[in-house]
Amino acid sequence: MSLSIALTKGRLEKQTVERLAAAGYGIEALKDKGRQLVFQDQVKDIRYFLVKANDCITYVNHGVADIGVVGKDTLLENMNETYELLDLKMGCCKFIVAGLKDKNPLMKFGHIKIGTKYPNVCREYFQKRGMDVEIIKIDGSVELAPILGLCDGIVDIMETGSTLRENGLVVFDTVCDLSARLIVNKASFKLKQAEISQLLEDLKKVMEDESC
Ligand code: PRP
């Protein structure tokens, strides 16, 4: 049976394509793809499509894609009914709490304001600490928000740390480690067991030395 795989566009895309190519998949067309969004594997009976992270989960939830490659950040933030089958040990980064030096929101008493692209992750983190938090949803360049005085701190992703450093922000806590995951639609997992097991085996073989 054929498989369809939803790949997350952007930061994870290059590493995902490299990993699949190393595992022997015919994914060459994705390396120089222009604006094309759907691709047929040149070796296997697989169709790939490129989507935004949140949409990757939606396509797999609905079974339009059997499989998805998506960041753990997106999985933690959004409801999903998929099986998470493999930590791909790539796209390694962290959720952190950060802010302006000498202004640690975790040391502040009473009401605090936190800017984030991840309101659910943020809410859970502060609720666990019993803190009174107001979450301000921001869509990008979250680091700007405490600098401009919109909030006391941020919950965001840190990969290299350069965005924080170059904007004079410091890390006050790590919420959790993150990496890309392989997710599978529950019905596909039953119906396409052999194909999915083969993909897992092929990927595991080429990631023996990988770590986050
Ligand atoms: C992410 C994140 C940080 C940055 C961290 O944003 O929100 O801003 O990357 O990476 P670094 O630690 O390597 O500097 P992204 O680049 O995805 O863009 P956005 O802020 O517009 O969402």
**Predicted confidence (pLDDT) per residue in 89-118, tens digit:** 999 999 999 999 999 999 999 999 999 999
Between 93 and 35, where is the model more confident?
A: 93
Structural domain range at position 108: 93-177
Q: CATH number of the domain that 135 lies in?
A: 3.40.190.10
Q: Per residue in 176-201, pLDDT tens?
A: 999 999 999 999 999 999 999 999 99
- What pLDDT score does 33 carry? 84
Q: How far is the CA of 66 from the centre of ligand 1 (A)?
A: 29
Please indicate, yes or no, whether residues 76 and 8 belong to a single structural domain of this protein.
yes
Alpha carbon of 158 to ligand 1 centroid (Å) = 7
Statement to judge: residues 102 and 151 lie in one domain: yes
For residue 32, pLDDT over 90 is answered with no
Domain total of the chain: 2
Q: CB pairs under 8 A, 24+ apart, for 142-151?
A: 142/115, 142/116, 142/117, 143/98, 143/167, 143/169, 145/115, 146/98, 146/99, 146/100, 146/103, 146/115, 147/100, 150/113, 150/115, 151/113, 151/114, 151/115
**Is any ligand 1 atom within 6 A of the Cβ of residue 167?**
no
The answer, as to whether pTM is greater than 0.75, is: yes
Check pocket membership of 140 for ligand 1, CB cut-off 6 A.
Answer: yes
pLDDT exceeds cutoff 90 at 68? yes
23 and 84, same structural domain? Answer: yes
Whether residues 149 and 138 fall in one domain: yes
- Residue 137: count other Cβ atoms within 10 Å of its Cβ: 11
One domain, residues 190 and 200: yes
Atom 19, ligand 1: which residue's CA is nearest? Answer: 140
Tell me, yes or no, whether 26 and 104 share the same domain.
Answer: no
Indicate whether 157 and 189 sit together in one domain: no
Mean pLDDT of the chain: 96
pLDDT band for position 41 (cuts 50, 70, 90): very high
Percent of the chain with pLDDT over 70: 100
**pLDDT exceeds cutoff 90 at 6:** yes
Q: Is the pLDDT of residue 150 over 90?
A: yes
What pLDDT sits at residue 1?
A: 87
The minimum-distance atom of ligand 1 relative to the CA of 11 is 17
The neighbouring-strand residues paired with 133 are 112
**Residue where the block lists tokens 């890309």:** 180
What's the 41 CA to ligand 1 centre distance in angstroms? 31
DSSP state of 1: -
- For residues 109 and 85, state if they share a domain: no
Distance CA 191, CA 181 (A): 21
